[in-house]
Chain A
Amino acid sequence: MLAMNYRGPYRVRVDEKPMPQILHPEDAIVRVTRSCICGSDLHLYHGMVPDTRVGMTFGHEFCGIVEQVGPEVRNLKVGDHVLVPFNIACGKCHFCQQGLFGNCHEANAQATAVGGIFGYSHTAGGYDGGQAQYVRVPYADVGPMVIPDWMDPDDAVLLTDVVPTGYQAAEMGGIQPGDTVVVFGAGPVGLMAARSAWLFGAGRVIVIDHLDYRLEFARVFGPAEVYNFREIDDMAVFLKKQTDSLGADVCIDAVGGDAAGNALHYLFGTKLKLEAGSAIALHWAINSVKKGGIVSIVGVYGPTGNMVPIGNVVNKGITIRANQASVKRLLPRLIDHIKAGHINPKAMITHRVPLADIADAYHLFSAKLDGCIKPVLLPNGQ
């Protein structure tokens, strides 16, 4: 089969690889119909995540047809078209039992702090991912869900990660009716966070980025007030002026460790790797939220440490809430929202690319060329 093959920072290609095998009685093998590239993949692509091994296949946002099931799989059958949450979760452990499917304890040998994630380095379990024609899906009865007949597969594939992640970002914000919510980052995750903030009753939604084409999209898709941080002198002062000088009720970090906008963080985090990525968006979030406010983090950082103004978290009495999204927990609600027409995720898809062109797709998405918001790979044709 053909599969993405990581060769080192900024270098990916497609190669012939062996077919995945059933290795556990709860496994399934899925033939991939759609597979996205995610902002999270860019952290791997940029060489920021420790234990990213040459030869691995990335890809944690995919849907496909069940080709084969292990002897303990009960709910799925061969031929089902399923969407597969990015979290690998057992459904039985202490964490899964509480709906913390992003924090399963039975899916990642290499680390306890992260659950298992498809195609996301050995730090997230060492699973080959779905940017391939076929993929091994562990715990097939827990995560995967048959795509409803009426649902567009383009919406289904976005339900595997960015839609629930953006929604959970807003949910963790504890948004109260009328609250002012600031979302840092106008990528697919930030866009969904802005859209979801309204579902929780926000009174005002502000989106910050530096890419005008994405801000323009956010202005309509959110809909949101949008600002380009390159035109803002001091983020905390600016946002306080926007919010009766007290600060926002809720700030959401939908950027993570690849943040632009600060030379010091760029040097320490992105270049020298002395920090686990550049934490400038989180810094802005902490300093722009009001006292007693909530900072919700879904942006991804490495496992070491970051320079953030933790003293201000104490002094301002800020609550920080953060997690990998628990996709399975949120799916039923989000499917309702799609059915009711409250959200239209597929509008974010800008590029549809054959698997063979994966190197170009990664570069396009990473360098933000050609108005790229969300690229979808088609590993088995249309």
Chain B
Amino acid sequence: MTKQMVDTSKIPGWGADADPENDPTYPIRHIEDQKSRGLTWTRPTQQIPNVEILRSIEHNRLPAVIGTSTPPSGLSGAIRRYAFRRSESDWLHWLLLMGADRINVVEGVVEDLTRGKVPNIPGEMGARAEWQHNKTGFAVKAGATAAIAAVLVAAIRGRQSEKSVSPAAPAEPADPDKALFIPY
């Protein structure tokens, strides 16, 4: 409950022009249905979390129902835990979470690989739809990917040949199906 700091009944003219009709939020908010103020409602049953839940520090208690998808884990999880020390009003809270999201993508690939699954990244990015409905786009992306792959291969070979003094082998033609796709 908000503490009443001033006795409004002592203020001359207090509320004289209060007009419930003058409500730009109507009908989005129904002030007439607002039976109480503060955290005073009859709460639903509390769900007991079976996974780690990061809670906004702007909540004074855990909401009755919570989502249990993908609990924090790994390095991204550690960053998320740290981010949740700061409020939703703090920019750093969100920037840290965005950073954790990016690290989480790498963790996802590692997780796939450790399970013996090589992610089909072009497939995950909808390469088939691109091929069917945007042939030019497909060609540009496949070409760009192949070019980047070729440059990388050449650079790695170049470095190796500097060390071993063997003649640089010609770069293998990159297979666009196996290469990484560039985000559109």
> What 1/0 mask marks residues of chain A from 112 to 146 whose CB sits below 8 Å from any chain B CB?
11001000001101111000000000110000000
Instruction: Say yes or no: is B178 at the interface (Cβ < 8 Å to chain A).
Output: no
A110 to B184 alpha-carbon distance, docked (Å):
30
Partner of A98, one of B29, B56, B68, B104: B29
Q: Within the assembled complex, what's the spacing in Å between the Cα atoms of A94 and B69?
A: 26
Cα–Cα distance between A248 and B143 once the two chains are bound (Å): 46
Query: Judging by beta carbons under 8 Å apart, are A24 and B129 in contact?
Result: no
A72 within 8 A of partner (CB) = yes
The proximity string for B residues 118-137 relative to A, scoring 1 for CB distances below 8 Å and 0 otherwise, is 01110111111110111001
Q: How close is B90's CB to chain A, nearest CB, in angstroms?
A: 10
A55 and B119 CA atoms in complex are apart in Å by 13
What are 24 A-B interface contacts by the 8 Å CB criterion? Answer: A8-B108, A10-B124, A10-B183, A11-B105, A11-B124, A24-B45, A26-B44, A50-B97, A51-B97, A54-B104, A90-B65, A94-B40, A98-B31, A99-B28, A99-B30, A109-B66, A112-B88, A116-B65, A122-B54, A171-B28, A172-B28, A321-B24, A363-B130, A367-B130
Assuming A7-B105, A94-B34, A110-B54, is B67 touching A51 (CB within 8 A)?
A: no
Residue of B with least CB distance to A13? B124
Q: Which of A100-108, A212-220, A230-238, A308-316 contacts B (4 or more CB under 8 A)?
A: A100-108
Asked if B164 is an interface residue, CB under 8 A from chain A, the answer is no
- Beyond the given pairs A24-B47, A25-B45, 7 more chain A to chain B contacts, judged by CB atoms under 8 angstroms and listed by A's residue number, are A24-B65, A97-B35, A110-B56, A126-B68, A304-B94, A323-B28, A367-B184
Docked CA distance A370–B132 (Å): 9
Report Cα–Cα, A116/B62, bound state, in Å: 13
Residues 98-117 of B, flagged 1 when their CB comes within 8 A of A and 0 if not, give 10111011011101100000
Do the beta carbons of B67 and A126 come within 8 Å of each other? yes
A23 touches B129 (CB 8 A): no
- Is A9 interfacial (CB-CB < 8 Å)? yes
Report if A106-B101 is in contact (Cβ < 8 Å); known contacts: A7-B119, A51-B80, A57-B69: no
The minimal Cβ–Cβ distance linking B131 to chain A, given in whole angstroms, is 10
Chain B: minimal CB distance from A277 (Å): 12
Check if A364 sits within 8 Å of B45, measured CB to CB.
Answer: no
Which B residues lie at the A interface, using CB under 8 A?
Answer: 24-25, 27-31, 33-45, 47, 50, 53-56, 58-59, 62-70, 72, 76, 80, 84, 88, 91, 94-95, 97-98, 100-102, 104-105, 107-109, 111-112, 119-121, 123-130, 132-134, 137, 181, 183-184
Query: Contact at B67–A125, with CB atoms within 8 Å?
Result: yes
Q: Interface readout for A347-368 with B: 1 if CB under 8 Å, 0 if not?
A: 0000000000001111110110
Q: Kindly list chain A residues whose C-beta atoms are within 8 Å of the C-beta of B40.
A: 94
Q: A360 to chain B: closest CB distance in Å? A: 4
Complex interface: chain B residues within 8 A of A273 (CB): 98
- CB proximity of A29 to chain B, nearest CB, Å: 14
The reply to whether the CB of A19 lies closer than 8 angstroms to some CB of chain B is no
- Asked whether, in the complex, the Cβ of A127 is within 8 Å of the Cβ of B25, the reply is no
Q: Which residue of A lies closest to B72 (CB)?
A: A53
Task: Provide the residues of chain B in CB contact with A50, threshold 8 Å.
Answer: 94, 97-98, 101
Is the C-beta of A92 less than 8 angstroms from some C-beta in chain B?
A: yes
Q: Which of A55, A122, A128, A168 contacts B108 (CB 8 A)?
A: A55
A263 near B: Cβ within 8 Å? Answer: no
Residues of B within 8 A of A53 (CB): 69-70, 72, 76, 101, 104
Residues A40-64 near B (CB distance < 8 A): 47, 50-57
Chain B residues whose CB sits within 8 angstroms of the CB of A168 once the complex forms: 28
Query: Is chain B's binding surface mostly helix, strand, loop or mixed?
Result: loop
Q: Which residues of A contact B133 (CB under 8 A)?
A: 364, 369-370
Instruction: Tell whether, in the assembled complex, residue B58 and residue A112 are in contact, meaning their CB atoms are under 8 Å apart.
Output: yes
* Residues of chain B within 8 A of A369, CB atoms compared: 129-130, 133-134
Alpha-carbon distance A361/B76, docked complex (angstroms): 28
Contact A9 B183 (CB under 8 A): yes
- List chain A residues, Cβ under 8 A from B134: 367, 369
Question: When the two chains form the complex, which single residue of A106, A366, A367 contacts B43, counting CB atoms closer than 8 Å?
Answer: A106
With a cutoff of 8 Å between Cβ atoms, the chain B residues found around residue A303 in the complex are 88, 94
Contact B33 A97, beta carbon cutoff 8 Å: yes
Instruction: Judge if A302 is at the interface, Cβ distance under 8 Å.
Output: yes
Q: With an 8 A cutoff between CB atoms, is A255 at the interface?
A: no
List of B residues within 8 angstroms of A366 by Cβ: 126, 184
- CB pair A107 B28 closer than 8 Å: no
Q: Which residue of B lies closest to A363 (CB)?
A: B126
A344 sits at the interface (CB 8 A): no
CB distance from A372 to the nearest CB of B (A): 9
Closest to A98 in B: B30
Q: What's the least CB distance linking A367 to chain B, in Å?
A: 6
User: In the bound complex, what is the Cα–Cα distance between A175 and B40 (angstroms)?
Assistant: 35
Residue among A57, A94, A122, A305 with most chain B CB within 10 A: A122
Within 8 Å CB of B59, what residues of A?
A: 109, 112
On whether the beta carbons of B45 and A54 are closer than 8 Å, the reply is no
Report A-chain residues with C-beta under 8 Å of the C-beta of B101: 47, 50-53
A117 to chain B, nearest CB (A): 9
Kindly list chain A residues whose C-beta atoms are within 8 Å of the C-beta of B119: 7, 11, 13
Q: Measured between C-beta atoms, what is the minimum distance from A204 to chain B in Å?
A: 23
Residue A88, interface by CB 8 Å: yes
- A359 and B126 contact, Cβ closer than 8 Å, known pairs A9-B183, A24-B65: yes
